Amino acid sequence: MRYLVIILVLFSCTAKNEKADYRPKFHFTPQKNWTNDPNGLVYYDGEYHLFFQYNPYGDKWGHMSWGHAVSKDLLHWEELPVAIEEYVDSEGDSVMIFSGSAVVSGDSIVAIFTSHKSTKQSQSIAVSHDKARTFKVYKGNPVLDIGRKDFRDPKVFWYEPQKKWVMAAVVPDQHKVNLYESKDLKSWNFMSDFGKVGDTTKIWECPDLFPLSNKWVLLISASHPQGGPFVGMQYFVGDFDGTKFSVDDSSRYPLYVDYGKDFYAGITYNNEPGGRRIMIGWANNWAYAGSVPTSPWRGGMSLPRELSLDSDLKLKQVPAVEIESKKVVFDKTDSIEVSGTWIGYNAITKNVFLNRMNKMFPSIEKAPARLIDGKVKLEIFEDHSIIEVFINDGEAVISDQVFPKY
């Protein structure tokens, strides 16, 4: 029986053994050096801004600063100079610029980020008046300090019903998201917290709280659905009344965003002009991020995904409509080989599988999939060293890096 309908999207030819050939064509990667979490996703005056965790001095994690790229179509990116650099404060301490968000306030872009010291993390801001080409760090930083070593990743958004800013930030080791409110982005008041639901086998990071289809969704980066040393993302669907986020039925969790090994720290755009909810994630995994065979860069981003909820309040993800290319459609009985990676459907387990046969870090990913009229629809994006598989129009996704001949 033919189980699969495959839409194969080839952005680039199959990679060769040279490391330079592993650079994706349409997944953003910096020209050189290390990158991890996407930060400060915001649209302003015709440009999609992508900030990202970046080491200006090498291809290993360290000296965290905010790198910067812009795009007019979410597909072609122009890398700009480092936006906010690691600095030494008035006390002589090194301050790294950890993950955060960005908002439009009047004619300015305000970045809200975690100031990381060796003994404490707190939330700070920087302001740009020139379309994010330069930022001035606020002299009154930090704007939110609760005296903890681990307290980070502020996602800020405007809550129109109460004319205020809302911040979601994590207390990672307590598996908790704290919610704060502010009128001016400088003075913050605690409102409530949410946590200890779903998967708590690893620390919680990179929260994102946003409205979607008359509900509210909370994204959390934490554990992987297959466990082990890997990390991934989960999500919660519920209600937010301006003060508190709550879910209707805690027993339905955990629910996972991506079933592959290489999608983490995903956050969504603020100020998107069409009202869409667009997410980008880091296409890598902490279990081996420092060892992937790429040079002179290490790390990159996923394709932009548009989010929605289905009738069962499950998250659906599809490539943003800007992602256009030649597509080939055909039927296969059980599987297809793409860049040395086997992708197919197991009718017994009712899973789509991706068998990543890299010698460095082999793995088999599995995602639940239902048959629709006896078929499973797979939309496969292959881009040199990244494969993203969208199942049944986004009911599930598998994202993996692949390095043929390694």
Residue 181: which of 261, 222, 226, 242 has the closest Cα?
242
Query: At 112, which helix (H) or strand (E)?
Result: strand 108-116
Cα separations (Å) of 216 from 100, 121, 248? 20, 27, 11
**Tokens representing 135?**
């930022």
Which 3 state secondary structure label does DSSP give 104? strand
- DSSP secondary structure, 267-331, as one string: EE-BS-TT---EEEEE---TTTGGG---SSEE--BPPPEEEEE-TTS-EEEEE-TT----EEEEE
Which 3 state secondary structure label does DSSP give 160? helix
- Asked if 282 contacts 302 with a C-beta cutoff of 8 angstroms, the reply is yes
- Asked if 40 contacts 111 with a C-beta cutoff of 8 angstroms, the reply is yes
- Asked if 75 contacts 52 with a C-beta cutoff of 8 angstroms, the reply is no
Query: At 5, which helix (H) or strand (E)?
Result: strand 4-10
- Asked if 285 contacts 279 with a C-beta cutoff of 8 angstroms, the reply is no
- Asked if 71 contacts 47 with a C-beta cutoff of 8 angstroms, the reply is yes
Q: What is the DSSP letter of 58?
A: -
Find residue 33's DSSP bridge partners: 297
Q: Which residues, other chains included, contact 309 with Cβ-Cβ below 8 Å and sequence gap of 6+? A: 212, 213, 215, 217, 237, 315, 316
* Residue matched to tokens 């060769």: 16
Which 3 state secondary structure label does DSSP give 282? strand
Looking at residue 37, its amino acid is: D
**Cis peptide before 293, with omega less than 30 degrees from 0?**
no
Catalytic residues: 37
Looking at residue 105, its amino acid is: S
Per DSSP, the chain holds a count of helices (H) and strands (E) of 0, 32
